[in-house]
Amino acid sequence: MLRGLLSMVHKGASLENAIAVNSGSIRKRGICSTIPLWKKKMPDRPPPVNEADFTEVFLHGSGPGGQKINKTSSAVQLKHIPTGMVLKIQATRSRTQNRKIGRQMLAEKLELLEKGKESRVAVVGETKRKKKCSAVKKSKRKYRLLAEQNAAKTGEDNVEEDFEEGFEDDTDLEEGWGKSVEDMETAKQKSSKKGGDP
């Protein structure tokens, strides 16, 4: 690339001009090393449950996945002894992944029982609900504005059509000069009722 740029420069030109020509193609990139500060820090993940507090059993899977799922014992059933809570996990085909996911789910469920609305699951669910609610509000606002704009456009079109309909022939023009403003407004209202404006 540099050779091509240098060949374009005359032999009498200095190398500084060639570098100046080439410097425009170099992009500068800024690197930011600051960590974004969250407005509200999420609670920490719950600590893992003690292995002595629950029993683990491997079961045959069920549902979609065919014969392989039905024949292998990849599903995991965890029973928390102190609370009597039972969880059956069959998120993946892998037994090890199901064990890991099951332990995380058990820890989250126990934290939800202990802390209630202050647990991580509840806080994350609340933030997701708020985001979804604000997205729905934004969407409704957008479509309401579009509907209002369309109504305004159709309203302007109807007014122009009414104006044109009112003065189709010369006799209407001559009669219109003698009418009062109130008579014109009632005629306009009657014609708008005929149009069926929503």
* CATH number for the domain that contains residue 89: 3.30.160.20
- Host domain of residue 130: 122-167+179-195
**Total domains, the chain:** 2
Q: What are phi and psi of 66, to 5 degrees?
A: 80, -160
Domain end: 92, 116, 140, which one?
Answer: 116
Residue 11: inside a domain: no
Residue 14: inside a domain: no
Give me the average pLDDT of each 10-residue run along the chain (198 residues): 56 52 57 64 86 93 84 93 94 93 95 91 92 95 93 76 55 49 58 51
The whole-number pLDDT of residue 98 equals: 95
The whole-number pLDDT of residue 32 equals: 64
The whole-number pLDDT of residue 174 equals: 47
